[in-house]
Amino acid sequence: MEKKLETILNTSWQILSSLNEEEILRRITKTLVEDFGFERAVIFLVNKKDKVIEGKYASGIPEEIVHKIRISTTRKESILLEIMQENKAVLLKNVSENPRLSEVFRQENKCHGGDMALVPIACPAETGTCIGVFEEGAGVIAVDNFSSKREISGEDLVPLKIFAQYAAIAIANAYLHQQVNLLAITDALTGLYNHGYFHQLLKQEIERAERYEKKFSLLMLDIDHFKNYNDTYGHLAGDRLLHHLAEIIRENIRTVDSACRYGGEEFTVILPETDILGAKNLAERIRKSIFEEGEITVSIGIGIYPEDGKITEELINSADKAMYLAKNRGRNLVCLANELKG
C-alpha cells in the first residue's frame, strides 16, 4: 500500500501540470498501466450535451472500440451511472460474461474471467475545484487484468480511488481553462464566435485552402431593416432576435463550418471545401428558414476563395459587396460576388 501511495504522489503532479484534456487522459491511462500495473485502463467521461457517458481514452484497448462506447445517462441500470451517482468504487471478481459489463467492453466480448475495478472520477469533497463543473462526477475509470487473471484486491481500490480524485481535479482544471479561452473568442449575446476570432479563422482557412489547393466559401449575412425592428419593439427584443437568428444559423450549418457575429446585425459563416453551388444552397436554406418564421428577412452575400479574393480583406469585401447587391435588388435574397463582375 505504501509503495502505491508513493506512486500516486510521484505521478499526480504529471497530470496536474497539464491543462490539455487529451494529454491529461493519456497520462492517466499510461500511469494506470505502467505504474499501477493494470493490463488495461479506460476512461469514461460524461457528455452533458448529448446526455451520454462515452469512452474517451484507453491503454491496452483499440481506440476505435473505446470511442464507440456511448451509454445514455437515462439508463438507470448502467453500472457506470451507478458508480458516479453513488460515488463508490466497484470490484468485480472472476468476471465471466457479466451482463453488467457488456456496456463497457461490448465491442470485444472478452470478459472470460479475471478481475475488474471501476472507480468514480470525482473531486474530494473538501476541494472546490469541481463546483459548477461536474458536481455529480466527471466519469469512471475502469481497469482490468482479464488476460493474466492476476487478482485485483480490495486493497488496490484505495490508491486507485485517490488517484481518480487527482484525475478529476486535473480534468476540471482543463475544462475551466477551455471555458476561459472560449469566452475570449465568443460573442456573449449570440454564443457565436466574435469578430476578432472570425479574422483569425478566415486567415487560417485561407492558408489551409492555399496549401491543399481547395476552394472555400464565405457568407456575409445582414438583417433587413433591423433598425426599424429595434425602434418598433425595443432593444431587448432586438437582442432576443439576434440570439434566435444565431440559433437558426447553427441549425443549418455543418460541424466543420464556423459561424461568427461580425458586428451589429451582421453575421459571417466560413464554409470549408465548399464550392459556389454548395454555398448558395446553404445560404438559401438559412434565408428560407428565417423568412418562413415571418418576423424578419436577411440578405446574404457569398464570396468564393480564390476567385473573389486571395487575402482576407479581398474576400470579406467581395462577400460584403454581394450582400449589398442583395439589398439593392430588394432584400431577402442571396447574391454571389461574381454577379458584380458581369
Q: Which residues are catalytic?
A: 265
C-alpha distances out from residue 319 to 19, 209, 270, Å: 38, 17, 11
Instruction: Spell out where the chain has E strands.
Output: 40-47, 52-59, 70-72, 90-92, 116-121, 139-144, 216-223, 258-263, 266-272, 298-305, 334-336
Beta bridge partners of 300: 221, 334
Residue 310 has φ and ψ, to the nearest 5°, of -105, -10
Cβ atoms 25, 140 nearer than 8 A: no
Cβ atoms 303, 337 nearer than 8 A: yes
Cβ atoms 230, 223 nearer than 8 A: no
DSSP annotation of 340: G
